[in-house]
Copies of this chain bind each other. A is one copy, B any other.
């Protein structure tokens, strides 16, 4: 074989160390699959302290010099965050190196510019590890399903929130209690904001939507609600209607025809907790697992399931990409990039069709249901089911709506809160996957 392909590794945390371990352990297999041995040229770290088994001569704090070094062929970025990752990746492209990244925040924020820079330099940018860890997902979206029209991509893409919601469902605990448990067991970070407020899921939703709909979507375009407002009552109410609560990243292509005119398509991307039927394939995805459900015109329903985080699964995805970009480099051609050719408009949340589950405590007297139903009608929201349970002079109304613009639904809820007959709105949550 000819000279080894040289890889610059940026970052040496949990994922970086696993990448190094696999590069070493699977050296023979990788060489056979690529057609050349792979060698680590250097490892860029913030501080030149001892990093486990990493030979000291490979460590450097000068990441920029490393990525632009003449003998480096490929760059693996597992630093995370926006800077210095972005500058280093752009420098790598400018120096003609292909990049494998696991950086969801950066790709979610600035994917378009990064792809453009890679295309201009004629190199590859692969980032399978950025969404749903080891689950092969981005490549199927951008390649295997390239001959199909995608309608929806709905994912459980954040293990921390899924663990918390799973525990709430299992134990009846409230959010704070379940979060405390997750923190203690190491499933939630000391500062869990990025996870529980949905920032992490929103970055991933942006990446998925961009690939699925050939349309540039950034995290800022994604409507985002976290799970801190999900109550034990919400979870119990969900169970009563045969549902379970999940934090979902939802990417949809919405087709609309106005007054008989030609249909115009747009894209809606959102992250929020929602009730889904327990019979839905995503409902059974528990604990720290991830899963992504895809609906395509011709392919129908697909689901991808696996471990969404952790050093080893993430490193597996990084190495899969590394084999691909290495082979592309040897073949002298960049691989299949992304295309934003469709460039569909992105809808606002207010304008996005959703369905609501609402639970109300009302006075148990004749005419209350009629008054409440009228309020929904006044906002042009059609009701799918109502259940009324009387108890003493009070009653509980559980209402599931049909699909309506989110603004109409939330205006209905505000109006209900003001109604004298409504003592309390005890639970409001969107519903997905009902037929």
Contacts and interface: CB of A to CB of B under 8 A. Distances in A.
A301 B312 contact: no
A391 B134 CA distance: 51
Contacts of A341: 32-33
A324 B32 contact: no
A144 B320 contact: yes
A312 B333 contact: no
A211 B356 CA distance: 45
B144 A32 contact: no
Contacts of A297: 312, 316
B298 A313 contact: yes
A86 interface: no
A323 B134 contact: no
A319 interface: yes
A99 interface: no
Interface residues of A, number: 58
A36 to B, nearest CB: 13
Contacts of A333: 331-333
A284 interface: yes
With most chain B CB atoms within 10 A of its CB, the pick from A128, A133, A298 is: A298
Interface in A258-303: 281, 284, 296-303
Interface stretch (A22-30, A158-166, A402-410): A22-30
Contacts of A302: 134-136, 304-307
Contacts of A336: 324, 327
A430 interface: no
Copies per complex of this chain: 2
Nearest to A328: B333
Contacts of A319: 146-148, 298
A109 interface: no
A300 B320 contact: no
A307 B312 contact: no
A18 interface: yes
Contact of A149 (B26, B133, B300, B322): B26
B144 A128 contact: yes
Nearest to A330: B333
A317 interface: yes
A297 B300 CA distance: 30
Nearest to A285: B281
Contacts of A323: 143, 146-147
A136 B145 contact: yes
Nearest to A38: B147
Contacts of A379: none
A60 interface: no
A140 interface: yes
A344 to B, nearest CB: 12
Contacts of A128: 144
Interface string A25-58: 0100110110000000000000000000000000
A388 interface: no
A23 to B, nearest CB: 9
A318 interface: yes
Q: Which 7 A-B pairs have the closest CB atoms?
A: A147-B319, A136-B144, A134-B299, A136-B140, A298-B316, A302-B306, A299-B316
Given A136-B145, A139-B139, 9 more contacts: A134-B298, A134-B299, A136-B136, A136-B140, A143-B323, A299-B313, A301-B306, A302-B305, A327-B336
Interface of A: 18, 22, 26, 29-30, 32-33, 128, 133-136, 139-140, 143-149, 214, 281, 284, 296-307, 310, 312-313, 315-324, 327, 331-334, 336, 339, 341-342
9 contacts: A30-B147, A134-B300, A134-B302, A144-B321, A146-B323, A147-B323, A148-B316, A302-B306, A304-B304
